[in-house]
Amino acid sequence: MATHAAAPRQRWRRYGTSYLMLLPFLGLFAGFLVWPLANSLYLSFTKFDGVNAPEFEGLENFRRLLFDDDRFRHALGNTFLYVVASVGIGTLLSLGLALAFSGSSWPHRIMRTIFFLPSVTSSIALMLLWKWIFNPGDFGLANTVMTWFGGRAVEWLATPGLTIPILVLMSVWGGMGYGMVLYVAGLNTIPQEYYEAARIDGATSWQQFRRVTLPLLRPVTTYVVVTGLIGAFQVFEAVYIVFRGTNNIGGVLDSGLMIVPYLYDQGFTHFKLGYASAIAWVLFLIIFALSMVNLRIGRALKEL
């Protein structure tokens, strides 16, 4: 409660500059994140084609999404399958690579650079490259390799059963180097003394790995897995570039349809902007749940 009349004025003098310095960030944050977020929630309850004013229709979009839209259910199923496979395989390989190449000798450094290369390469360029590699012609790289091993040319991108495996392959190939680097950093924070102590106790390398390395890498693993899951749920480019067919975004039989590509398809190809907003909110809820697992944020809040 204001004890003197001059309080508001003083307060402004005292804090004016502070708020002014906060303003650019907060203004943009409010304008392009908070407001759109609220707006998106509103739009998710409407029918909106981008031209006529949004028409409120309650939970209709969500009802249709969850109970009456085979394509969305399909997209959800595909996404979960893709996420679990790509994060699972990717994390294991990242850890393996980190254990194999954590040293400071030049072969290790070169290997680390090689595995990290996709992380700094243009992702669209990589997707176009994959599309070219999986060209159905006999001259495609993948098919050439098939013939080396006595196989026959495969229609990689038009075989529904291969779509998710190919997406997982592309994701693991492109992402394991990043996880590796995080694991290497984690490994380097483990004091050598722990290993020495374990060796004195007669622990084998496997036991050292189980009892020392793995438990101490827990925070890194949590981080790699959670950020991996969140990133994987948002997959878009791989589907859009490699699998988009002439009349739908998800590839043959929608075998590669995922949440964000479907959002794009509904929102920006068919201009069902209300429906797309509902899809966006389903994605939000999934990612929100995942983020709650991410303890780093909780910890940061405590620090403040």
Residues 164-193 that bind another protein (CB under 8 A): 173, 177, 180-182, 184-190, 192
* 180 secondary structure, DSSP code: H
Q: Is residue 96 a contact residue for another protein (CB under 8 A)? A: yes
CA angle 198-190-94, nearest 5°?
110
- Residue 197 in contact with another protein, rule: CB under 8 A: no
Q: Which of residues 28-87 bind another protein (CB under 8 A)?
A: 28-29, 31-37, 39-40, 43, 49-52, 71
Q: Which stretch binds another protein (CB under 8 A): 1-9, 59-67, 84-92, 284-292?
A: 284-292
> Which positions from 214 through 253 interact with another protein, judged by CB under 8 A?
219-220, 223, 226-227, 230-231, 233-234, 236-237, 240-241, 245-248, 252-253
User: Which residue number, 81 or 252, has a Cβ lying nearer to another protein?
Assistant: 252
- Interactions with another protein, residue window 97-126 (CB under 8 A): 97-105, 108-118, 120-126
Using CB under 8 A as the binding rule, whether residue 144 contacts another protein is answered as: yes
Question: Can residue 299 be called a binding residue for another protein (CB under 8 A)?
Answer: yes
Minimum distance between the CB of residue 58 and another protein, rounded to whole angstroms? Answer: 18
Strands (E), the chain: 46-47, 55-56
Q: Which is nearer to another protein, 58 or 193 (CB)?
A: 193
